[in-house]
Chain A
Amino acid sequence: MFADPSRGVDPGQPITEQEALARLRQQEDPGQRYYAAWWLGRMRSRHPDAVPLLIDALAVRGTAVDSAAGVNEPNAIARNAARALGKLADAAAVPALLTALEDPDDGLREAAARSLGELGAIEARRPISRRLATGPEWAGSVQPGSSRLQEPCEALLEALGMIGLAGEDDPDTLLALVRPYVDHGRPLIRAAACRCLFQLSGETHWVEQLRALLLHEQLQVRRAALMDLAATGWRPAGPAIAGTLAENSLKLIALRGLVEQSPEHDPQATWPSAAEIDLLNAMDALL
């Protein structure tokens, strides 16, 4: 989930990688740093300076970027740097992201957790579990005077699922820690928990609950269920995805997920399987 920087800084002019690096390196204009951090992630920069500069930017605190233009999220530069580091697939970012995961700013913890999940950082499993361990009653409770939860549960749960069970010697405890979140009052948290439990256990009843959320009355929930199903790659959800009342763009992303994230997908294959042809035909109809 990338914040759209286009309202903060003129997005009209395409910039080069060198320009983006220069904008991130300079210290005078926080808006330029914010935009440059986003750019490097969006473009999946592979420049050797990108990750070190983003790690530096991850330490910036408290800069209000441009509240007049609508960018006023706290720690905006650090949050965008955290998001970008998840896209660049470089394990060198993991220690800095683990530090960000302990930050008092829950929005920064959220961005860091998502990126640690994208990086599949096994080292993040314990600190993420610790944050979820107080359960829906505390970690999943609403902050006073805010709609935000004490912990960014959705991101934490999704990250746990993406990290998986590799090297885990006590999977039962981990699963027991996640399970109460399937009864959370917010459907988006329930969806994240189901997704996580399916990824960790392979038990299809979790992903069937996720599929049922495609019929939820709120569009926001249907959208989240689409993205969660995409991450699971669970192909039996294909017809339900194609028929969901939501934007075709999201349904297409979800169906792509079923093709590419399924354990049945062979990355070396040069020929689509019969199940994949069914998914491709469903995608054609949504273009």
Chain B
Amino acid sequence: MTVRPPSVIPTDQVEGLVAAVEAAQTADDLTDAVEALAAAAHPDAVPCLIEVLGFNNPGAAVAAVDGLVAIGEPAVAAILRNLDDYNYGARAWGVRALAGIGDLRGLETLERALAQDIGPSVRRAAARGMGQLDPVGLGTGERQALAGRVLPQLEAARADGEWIVRFAVAVGLEGMARWWRPDPSQRLLTALAALADSERETVPVVRLRAVLAQARLRGEAPWPSP
């Protein structure tokens, strides 16, 4: 991720937005209040946004994840501290936030989630997140080493029993091209082949996604704007 402009919202205004989240009485009010807080993208909002992840309110949780991703690096340590092993839904949203931020400190969490989490929604977020890593400051050799660690894990997850995880693996493999240097296209095309092949992949939408990823790696299809 690129460096974000700092939030222009003054701190006392963030306090007001946090208070509005805490005062919300209905699910819709909560979602609206969290969206307003998330839009501020202010580091002071982090504890409140993390708390919202545990509320079992999908609309509010989506907004909170967006807010945490917008805050980015300053939110990572708090998210890692608060990954709640007992609240399944909150953990899934936390992994989604880490995946969206792409900070390398979250990699171990993504790895564990992809390999072991019982929830397909968590595994899919982790697979996508591995393609969204943001290895700022790493040179080519370090990026090679990182790819050598990540690629086998995504390759293993091609055998996941859930179609949506395999779909996310195709997205993750495509995304690795954004940070893997030098050009990894051949390795990634090979890794995607199993997901693009109708003999080995039964779900049409997974195959189409893998084919699209291959086309992008070959320069035959446009990349979506990041």
Question: Which A residues contact B (CB, under 8 angstroms)?
Answer: 245-249, 252, 256, 259-260, 265, 267, 270-272, 276-277, 280-281, 283-284, 287
Contact = CB atoms under 8 A, between A and B. Distances in A.
Nearest to B213: A280
A260 B171 contact: no
B208 A284 contact: no
Q: Is the interface of B mostly helix, strand, loop or mixed?
A: helix
A245 B221 contact: no
B209 A280 contact: yes
A287 B212 contact: no
Interface of B: 31, 58-59, 62, 120-121, 124-125, 127-128, 163-164, 167-168, 171, 204-205, 208-209, 211-212, 215, 221, 224
A272 B211 contact: yes
A260 B221 contact: no
Contacts of B128: 284, 287
26 contacts: A247-B58, A249-B120, A249-B164, A252-B164, A252-B167, A256-B163, A259-B204, A259-B208, A260-B205, A265-B204, A267-B204, A270-B211, A272-B208, A272-B211, A272-B212, A276-B208, A277-B212, A280-B205, A280-B208, A283-B205, A283-B209, A284-B171, A287-B125, A287-B127, A287-B128, A287-B171
Nearest to B89: A247
Chain A binding site: helix, strand, loop or mixed by DSSP?
helix
B121 A248 contact: yes
Nearest to B206: A256
Contacts of B224: 281, 284
Contacts of A249: 120-121, 164
B205 A271 contact: no
A287 B204 contact: no
A271 B121 contact: no
A271 B205 CA distance: 11
Contacts of B205: 256, 259-260, 280, 283
Contacts of A272: 208, 211-212
B49 to A, nearest CB: 18
B44 to A, nearest CB: 26
Contacts of B164: 249, 252, 287
B69 to A, nearest CB: 12
Given A249-B120, A270-B211, A280-B208, 17 more contacts: A245-B31, A245-B59, A246-B58, A248-B62, A252-B164, A252-B167, A256-B205, A259-B204, A259-B205, A259-B208, A260-B205, A277-B212, A280-B205, A280-B209, A284-B128, A287-B127, A287-B171
